Amino acid sequence: MNSLTDGAAERRSANFPGFLREGGTVATLLQALDWSRSPLSPPDQWSASLQTLMATILPAKAQIVLFWGPEYIALYNDAYAPTIGAKHPKALGRPAQENWSELWDDLEPLLRGVRETGETFSAQDRPFYIERRGLGETAWFDVSYSAVREVDGSVGGILCIVTETTERVQFERRQAFLLELGRTLPALGDAAQIEAQAVSRLGQYLGASRVFFAQDKGDTRHFVVEQQWLDGAPSMAGQHQYAHFAEHLHQRLGNGERIVGDFAAGEQADLCASLLLPVTGSSGLEATLAVHFHTPHAFLEDECLLIEETAKLAWSAITHARAEAKLIALNASLEQRVASMLAQREASLVQLHEARKMEMIGQLTGGIAHDFNNMLTPIIASMELVQRRLPDDRSQRLVNSALQAADRARTLVGRLLTFARRQTLKPQVVGLAGLIDDMRELIARSLGPTIDIHIAVDADLPGVVVDPGQLELALLNLVVNARDAMPEGGRVQIRAGVADETTVRPAGIVAGQVIWLQVADNGCGMDESVLARCFEPFYSTKAVGQGTGLGLPMVQGLAVQSGGGFTVRSRLRLGTEATLWLPASRAPSLPRESDMPLSQAPLYSAHVLLVDDEDIVRQATALQLRDLGYQVTEAQSAAQALQLIDQGLALDVLVTDHVMAETTGAELAHQLRQRMADLPILIITGYANLSPTELHGFEVLRKPFRRAELAHSLARLQEVKMG
């Protein structure tokens, strides 16, 4: 097939006039043209000079066009054809004005000047507006226009040798624009001025009707326009939605797609051409540079490159200016922030100092309280033994006075331990309604007749996990504080309830069901300075001798040690609200120890092994046990106790101090339980808060204790063993 075609072409070429045979595609077109419609005669009738010239032009590799005769009939070679784009081949053999109409006002005077004067016209990088790809564009050429003479010396036509320099000129102009813009924008400093200058310069350079940066809002839906260049187009200032302009517009821009000509909706419908160029960063789409034309416009690659480079350059300058503005603002407030940070640091140091001071006070208080308990234990035991042996009333009164003083000292030490959170608690499930009902008469007596009391505690409230005795003491402290705040009478409310989701809980209590117990009065209240110090130990606003300053710290210590919290709200002359927050329990509340019927008689011939490393405490306790009817063997350490048992000591009950050197009472108790699973054990302690694991299966008695309390604890062990 190809050989036949080539053969046919060779036969046609053989019929060409001689000067056309090496002329390529254009020569074939010249031979095939219908010359009856052209002002020029067929090629075989051309003048000798024209034929000779065309024989030279057609095979040449330079871009050459010949405008022949007074009508400037266009004759050109294959190398020139791409220069005129879509005008080829219809321009071949036709008057130039027909196909170069858009630039004829520019081209015709040049051709006429050469024809009339015979002088050559030449120029470098000569711009021409030409429509060769549908829409018009500016192209640049190096040109040389020379007169071609006939034999008689007359000018037959104009020989135009051209070299298109459009790409080079566009590159140089583009680089010059960007270089000047790169020098100008950073010098402006302000981000808004940089943005306004960039879109204005680009709009003027391109001859656009509107140019702006659409800054992305980061929500994939909205963009905002702040600065814009306008030339006859409506404003786009303000916030807009991507979806109002094109479907999936944000997604396409976010993918880095350059969008040409499909941005026309609503008020933008009058625009004929548009280009959207995304500016992306590490976080995705940051902005879009939009260029709009209200007349038809072809976005050539040169323009697209220019817009792209301008977008990068301008947005970089805008981002840098914004960062610098933030840095300047940051530096402007640096002194103030440093001062604020130093003040915060000082406040934190003061708070830390106070916390450490309170911890040290707690440790010191706990240690002193432990020693006091050890001293009070033999004092109370000895006084009770003496009391049982003195026959006369006067001696009994003296002993009773001494015991009352010892009880007051014991109460004070208990408060110290509770404040230090080292009190040995016996938590159990307690019903608040029942506990407060039992205390109603005591509360009424404590408040006196001038104060009305209102109690609102639902019997159906869940129980709370707390030491009931310590809770009674804490509640009584709060009631007495309320009384002292109302010397002329007033009203006290005791309320309780379940903390719901809307209740503001104290710090540290976030999970689990919590019950609040509140004591509120309408007394004198506290100002901010007093309220800030109300939890300090030994701080009191009461007169000398009327308060220890340990009431509220003791309540706070009990609450925290029980896994809850304690808050106080107060306003001067309006009253105070003190609220205990305690963990709730789904288990039913247990009967109180004081309500349990217990046998006071000891086990028959019960043999007690008493272990305590304090001789004076051990001896006093042994005397009390013997007075209660028990047989007692003493050991001054856990090691000695184990040695006695290994030697065959038969015991019915173990009574041991907890805090001892080398081995604690709880550790000794666990060791003996492994040998004698049913052995009744009573742990006596005056200091440490035993954990539930350590307490499990043992009776605990707090130092200092009265004879009746010791008998009560041993009786409980007797009841447990018997049944």
Among candidate residues 490, 502, 478, 508, the one with its CA nearest the CA of residue 577: 478
The whole-number average pLDDT for the span 539-559 is: 63
Q: Which value, to the nearest 10 degrees, does the dihedral of the CA atoms of residues 463, 464, 465, 470 take?
A: -120
The whole-angstrom separation of Cα 582 and Cα 566 is 9
The whole-angstrom separation of Cα 396 and Cα 712 is 23
Q: Which residues contact 336 (CB under 8 A, 6 or more apart)?
A: none
Among candidate residues 718, 694, 485, the one with its CA nearest the CA of residue 599: 718
Maximum C-alpha span of the chain? 171
How far from 338 is each of 295, 341, 348, 387, CA to CA, in Å?
A: 58, 5, 15, 70
Domain at 598-722: CATH code: 3.40.50.2300
**Band of the pLDDT at 693, cuts 50, 70, 90?**
low
Q: Which two tokens stand for residue 454?
A: 């209102």
Spell out the domain ranges in the chain.
2-164, 170-331, 432-585, 598-722
Domain at 2-164: CATH code: 3.30.450.20
**pLDDT recorded at residue 149:** 92
Residue corresponding to tokens 């608040």: 432
Q: Which residue has the higher pLDDT, 208 or 534?
A: 208
Domain 432-585: CATH architecture, name and number where available: 2-Layer Sandwich (3.30)
Asked whether 287 and 218 are in contact (CB, 8 A), the reply is no
Residues above pLDDT 70, as percent of the chain: 79
Other C-beta atoms closer than 10 Å to the C-beta of 92 total: 20
The whole-angstrom separation of Cα 423 and Cα 686 is 8
Helix and strand numbers (H, E) in the chain are 20, 23
pLDDT at 591 over 70: no
Among candidate residues 656, 620, 614, 615, the one with its CA nearest the CA of residue 638: 656
The whole-angstrom separation of Cα 24 and Cα 47 is 21
Q: Which two tokens stand for residue 466?
A: 């707390």
**pLDDT recorded at residue 423:** 54
The reported pTM is: 0.45
The whole-number average pLDDT for the span 144-159 is: 92
The whole-angstrom separation of Cα 523 and Cα 530 is 15
Residue corresponding to tokens 């050459």: 64
Asked whether 659 and 686 are in contact (CB, 8 A), the reply is yes
Among candidate residues 375, 531, 520, the one with its CA nearest the CA of residue 455: 520
pLDDT tens-digit profile of 238-260?
Answer: 999 988 888 888 888 988 888 88
**Residue 285 — φ and ψ, nearest 5°?**
-65, 125
Lowest-confidence segment of 259-263, 329-333, 371-375, 633-637 by average pLDDT? 371-375
Q: Which two tokens stand for residue 723?
A: 């049944």
Asked whether 333 and 171 are in contact (CB, 8 A), the reply is no
The whole-angstrom separation of Cα 188 and Cα 211 is 19
Q: Is there a shared CATH topology between the 432-585 domain and the 598-722 domain?
A: no
Lowest-confidence segment of 565-574, 591-600, 607-616 by average pLDDT? 591-600
Alpha helices in 460-614 (DSSP H): 468-484, 528-533, 551-561
The DSSP output letter for 580 is E
pLDDT at 599 over 50: no
The whole-number average pLDDT for the span 300-314 is: 88
- The two beta strands, 514-521 and 565-571, are unpaired
**pLDDT recorded at residue 266:** 42
Among candidate residues 326, 351, 558, the one with its CA nearest the CA of residue 465: 558
How far from 287 is each of 208, 224, 513, CA to CA, in Å?
A: 19, 9, 51
How far from 370 is each of 348, 365, 375, 622, 669, CA to CA, in Å?
A: 32, 8, 9, 20, 21
CA-based torsion, 638, 640, 644, 650: positive or negative:
negative
The DSSP output letter for 312 is H
**pLDDT recorded at residue 151:** 86
Among candidate residues 456, 454, 452, the one with its CA nearest the CA of residue 490: 452
Asked whether 79 and 61 are in contact (CB, 8 A), the reply is yes
Among candidate residues 565, 556, 584, 594, the one with its CA nearest the CA of residue 429: 584
Q: Does domain 170-331 have CATH number 3.30.450.40?
A: yes
Indicate the angle between helix axes 665-675 and 638-646, nearest 10 degrees: 20
pLDDT at 713 over 70: yes
